[in-house]
Structure 1
Amino acid sequence: MTELQQTLPPVPPAGLTTRKLRRWLYGLLFVLFGLLIWHSVFIPIESGQLGVLWSRFGGGTVKDHVFGEGYRVIWPWNRMQIYDVRLQDMHGTVETLTADALRVSVDVTARFAPRATDLTTLHQTVGPRYRETVVWPDVVEAVRHVIRQLKPDDLRVLGEVELAGKVDAAAREAIQKHWVDLDRVLITRIALPDRLDAEIQDKLAEEQKLLAYQYILKQAEQQNQKWQIEADGIRQFEEKSHISMLKWRGIEATEQLAASPNTKIVVTGNGGSQIPVLLSGDK
């Protein structure tokens, strides 16, 4: 044996190296395969979510069961669609025409949630894009349906709250037919053309002035009626008593002065129709 052969390490058998390489290769392939199918097998369902299973070899969508929160394990060839069943909202601006063909824009917010008991039907019939497919188009149609029946000054009189109530009533039934529950519709802004808006403001101001003037006239009419009643009462009194109201007031004043404990001076007139006058004698 030469000196070079003595310094070299012994060469392992070829069969042992091949087996190790195969083991490492199989292990690596197994890990890669596990990583590839991990998200298809282990499905996390977060809080406020539900899952609908589509089974490739089980007849498609599983209609009689929805999956609740937690990790769910399924076959890698099946699919789990996750739905957020909490209260959600959508915002947007709707442009439409009024009853007299004037263009207005309305800022709308819709609050809604998919109906958990009908989630499988919603998934099979509409799909996960139900917000864009069903909810928002129904809200837009409800806004246009309501505003088409109103004039611009009606919009100002109604305001955002009452208009939102009308839109809510119009949209609710249509949305619920598509297995979604509508919580509320909000109107945050009604934008009219600047010229038209100024005209409506002027018209409303004139209406307020007219209402104020009508109120003044009504008050004057009521005061006139009061005076008329008083005059009728005085006339009836004079007709029955044959005493004028002025003389009667003098008699009342004389009685009040006579009731005073102070010294009085009596002044009488020449005519019998004149009433005596009592003057206080105190200095």
Structure 2
Amino acid sequence: MAEYDNTGDQEDDEFEPLTWRDRTYNWFQRVSFLVYSIIIVVLLALGMLWPRVFIVVESGHHAVKYEPLGGGTVTNPEHLYGEGIHVIVPWDSLYIYETRLQQRFLEFNMLSDEGLSLEIVISVRYRPERDMLGFLHQDIGTEYYERLIRPQLEAHVRETLGHRPAHEIYSSAGDLVQELNHVTTLTRIGDATKPYVIVQEVKLVNVDLPDIVDQAIADRYRQEQLRLEYDDRLLREEKEAERKRIEAKGIADYNDIIGPDSLRWRDIEAVKALAESPNAKIIMLGGGGTSQDGQPPLMFSLSTAPEQDQTPVVVQPNSATPAP
């Protein structure tokens, strides 16, 4: 059946047949809506299925596959998905786990041996065992920290610190760290060969003690420092007393060696040096009364008179007039 163009002049009763270009254009107009609809549906389906088909596993992570039509969770460690982009069927799922070393802080309250409330802050470093990721996902799930690690750590810390007094917890942190690191291995029931999670380190970060305990510890430390200060003072005084005894013994030995004649000679030299000074002076040699050798003390009166008159005047203490 031939097609004719009826878009010509209204008065022309004849119809011209359509060319192949016109027929193609009319066909595209009829099917364009269907083509556009199919493209939109395909794009929507691709956008919805893209995150389920193309899975990206980032660095330091591994993924466990779940196959609803193939037996469920794949527990074989050889079938784990490593880093990179992976393509799976839309009805399967990949659950990604971080297998690097992780750290979290745990805060909780506990009672000491005296019944005091303590606020404990600990840090834990852990990582899941790669070969046990399938069993970890099958038995516990992605929230394994809240379900497995946190309760185990709280019970371990309460058991370790609960029987200790508050001041001992504060003063023996180094020993407590060693005890805290002995965490019970978190293994699968019936298979203790490999743990779910490897707890690498547990540290005691902070211990908030009650005010009364803080004050008691501060007073004890202050008394200890005062005791150390008194010990230092006693030691210093003992050293000073020993120094003075040695000094006195040295002076006594010196006097015994040089004798009284040497001391008198030193007195004469001192008097001579004093006599050479220009000012007037009175010099007395010997002590009060009579000296040890039976000689009375002598008194000299020196002045700044001319050279011909500079004759020392010797005064005897018991004489009425000075000697010429």
Q: 2:125 aligns with which of 102, 111, 114?
A: 111
* 1:97 aligned partner, one-letter code: L
Mapping 1:99-138, distance limit 5 Å: 99-138=113-152
For 2:68 and 2:198, the matched residues in 1 are separated by 30
2:198 is matched with 181
Does structure 1 residue 149 correspond to structure 2 residue 163?
Answer: yes
- Higher helix proportion: 1
2:34 is matched with 22
Report how many aligned residue pairs link the two structures. Answer: 214
For 2:215 and 2:181, the matched residues in 1 are separated by 28
1:163 is matched with 176
Structure 2: runs of 5+ lacking an equivalent:
1-7, 13-21, 189-194, 236-256, 258-324
TM superposition score normalised by structure 1? 0.67
1:141-189 per-position Cα deviation (integer Å, ceiling 9, x unaligned): 2211111110012112202x332222221xx224456600011111121
Once the 2 structures are TM-superposed, how far is the Cα of residue 120 of structure 1 from its aligned partner?
0.5
Q: Structure 1 vs Structure 2: percent identity of aligned residues?
A: 26
C-alpha change, 1:12 and 1:3, in structure 2 (3 Å) is farther
C-alpha change, 1:4 and 1:142, in structure 2 (3 Å) is farther
Question: Contact 1:90 / 1:136 at 8 angstroms: preserved in 2?
Answer: no
Does structure 1 residue 193 correspond to structure 2 residue 217?
Answer: no
Question: Match of 1:173, SS?
Answer: coil
1:34 is matched with 46
1:63-113 per-position Cα deviation (integer Å, ceiling 9, x unaligned): 112111111111101110000000111113221001111111111111100
* 1:57 aligned partner, one-letter code: L
1:95 is matched with 109
Question: Contact 2:67 / 2:92 at 8 angstroms: preserved in 1?
Answer: yes
Does structure 1 residue 43 correspond to structure 2 residue 43?
Answer: no
For 2:166 and 2:11, the matched residues in 1 are separated by 104
C-alpha change, 1:93 and 1:26, in structure 2 (3 Å) is same
For 2:165 and 2:211, the matched residues in 1 are separated by 15
TM superposition score normalised by structure 2? 0.59
Greater relative CO, 1 or 2 (CA 8 Å, sep 6+): 1
C-alpha change, 1:26 and 1:66, in structure 2 (3 Å) is same
* 1:200 aligned partner, one-letter code: I
Once the 2 structures are TM-superposed, how far is the Cα of residue 216 of structure 1 from its aligned partner?
11
Once the 2 structures are TM-superposed, how far is the Cα of residue 212 of structure 1 from its aligned partner?
9.1
C-alpha change, 1:13 and 1:3, in structure 2 (3 Å) is same
For 2:97 and 2:138, the matched residues in 1 are separated by 13
Structure 1: runs of 5+ lacking an equivalent:
220-256, 258-283
* 1:195 aligned partner, one-letter code: I
Once the 2 structures are TM-superposed, how far is the Cα of residue 123 of structure 1 from its aligned partner?
0.6
For 1:203 and 1:26, the matched residues in 2 are separated by 84
| Superposition CA RMSD, Å | 3.1
Give 1 or 2 for the bigger CA radius of gyration. 2
Does structure 1 residue 67 correspond to structure 2 residue 81?
Answer: yes
Once the 2 structures are TM-superposed, how far is the Cα of residue 201 of structure 1 from its aligned partner?
2.9
Does structure 1 residue 53 correspond to structure 2 residue 68?
Answer: no
1:227 is matched with none
Does structure 1 residue 203 correspond to structure 2 residue 217?
Answer: no
Question: Contact 2:122 / 2:202 at 8 angstroms: preserved in 1?
Answer: yes
Question: Contact 2:167 / 2:213 at 8 angstroms: preserved in 1?
Answer: no
Question: Contact 1:86 / 1:113 at 8 angstroms: preserved in 2?
Answer: yes
Question: Match of 1:57, SS?
Answer: coil
C-alpha change, 1:58 and 1:206, in structure 2 (3 Å) is same
For 1:14 and 1:52, the matched residues in 2 are separated by 54
Q: 1:2 aligns with which of 4, 9, 23?
A: 9
